[in-house]
Amino acid sequence: MKILITTDLYVTDTNGVVTSVRNLREELVKRGHEVRILTLSGSLKSKREDYVYYIKSIPLGVVYPDVRMPVSYHNAYIRELIDWKPDIIHSQCEFFSFQFARHIAKATGAPLIHTYHTLYEQYVTYVIPSKRLGRRMVATLSRKRLKHVDTVIAPTRKVETALRGYGLSNPIKVVPSGISIERYRHRLTPQERARRREELGIPSDHQVLINLGRLGTEKNLCELMELFASVLAVNSQLTFLIVGDGPAREQLEKQAHQLGISSHVIFTGMVPPTEVQNYYQLGDIFVSASTSETQGLTYIEAAANGLPLVCRQDPCLDDVIEEGVNGYEYTASDEFVQEINFILWNPDWRRLASHSSEKIAATFDKSHFAEVVEDIYENALR
């Protein structure tokens, strides 16, 4: 098949959509398909680099600084892609590149598949204070935007439920995004782990709770900070390692100071994508209070690195956390404290949980992800 994937972003290494697109393309090519990418350039110049078409754009940073919009929807490269006559068009973003996907689908008659990665109602409060109004607006826009899509892919049942709640009547297939399991199979030696922890200022006798991802208010890290303070009151030999950066960092640093726990909290800032797995392995437990995730790739990555997880209860965790086997979901602060203490004080359970996490994560390998998506393409063509 000739497959065109459209996405607003492709040049960053720190975005879940980009990771998903790259993994999908890599596996589809392995399966013998010809895959091209249409995305927005980082400048006022359009260009083609091998299989990637970059359409000139301008910055439009509201929530994400990398967000850009095209200068025009008329471009010679769009004509080139129409003449290429893709069999399938797979859109990954609802906004700017989606317009290109629809135009090319109409011009060629190719089925249009769309993956709905983001629950915008969790982010719309950045620009609209009213959650109710924001959700209504997201529902209306989602319905109108996707009404001509042949099949919608949802990364989790949580997203499928939200889309049905918005009134979508399109066929929806639930397909968890894949990750590269092979990348996380390498383990730091005990000596290397100890050296890296020392460089970050983690005391040798401390156990580490770790959170990795974008520091945005929707990630609810302020709740985690308060919960960590509660655990610290019982066990002072703990460090909270926060890996990543974002608009909420300054607020979180201030909160840690106000709670009197600054000496136990470490902010690493952004880390190179090639180092992400090594940072996971510096932790003893992965923790999260977010309910804004649609697919929770960081949860799967943490599990792939052998970490037990303690996370706020959320439908996107249904296939990632097996209660009492590789972690726990909490709904109240006292549950979080009890579950963290149980894991920290039971090394034998922690070893078993580590193996269980690795086995669960293996079911999300990108090769299986591509196989399922390929079946959706073939059904659309039939």
pLDDT digits (tens, 9 = 90+) for 236-275: 999 999 999 999 999 999 999 999 999 999 999 999 988 9
Least confident of 9-23, 178-192, 280-294: 9-23
Residue 64's pLDDT band (boundaries 50, 70, 90)?
Answer: low
Least confident of 120-124, 136-140, 145-149, 227-231: 120-124
Ordered structural domains, the chain, with CATH: 2-178+365-381 (3.40.50.2000), 181-362 (3.40.50.2000)
pLDDT value of residue 166:
92
Whether 126 has a pLDDT exceeding 70, the answer reads no
Which of these, 100, 139, 26, 14, lies nearest to 64 by C-alpha position? 14
Least confident of 36-40, 70-74, 87-91, 179-183: 70-74
Helix then strand then coil, in percent of the chain rounded to 5, is 45, 20, 35
pLDDT value of residue 108:
97
Least confident of 47-56, 97-106, 126-135, 304-313: 126-135
Backbone φ and ψ for 30, nearest 5 degrees, come out as -60, -30
Whether 142 has a pLDDT exceeding 90, the answer reads no
Residue 40's pLDDT band (boundaries 50, 70, 90)?
Answer: very high
pLDDT tens-place string over residues 151-173: 999 998 989 999 999 999 999 99
C-alpha span between 262 and 246 (Å, rounded): 18
pLDDT value of residue 61:
62
> Where would I find the H helices in 34-156?
76-84, 96-108, 131-146
Answer yes or no: pTM beyond 0.85: no
Q: Which residue has the tokens 């004509």?
A: 79
Residue 65's pLDDT band (boundaries 50, 70, 90)?
Answer: low
In a 13 Å sphere around the CA of 186, the CA atoms on its Cβ side amount to: 11
Whether 218 has a pLDDT exceeding 60, the answer reads yes
Q: In which element (H, E) is residue 266 found?
A: strand 265-269
Residue 243 burial (10 A CB sphere; 0-12, 13-18, 19+): buried
Most confident of 36-45, 133-142, 145-154, 278-287: 278-287
Mean of pLDDT values over 304-330 = 95
Chain CA centroid to CA 258, Å: 30
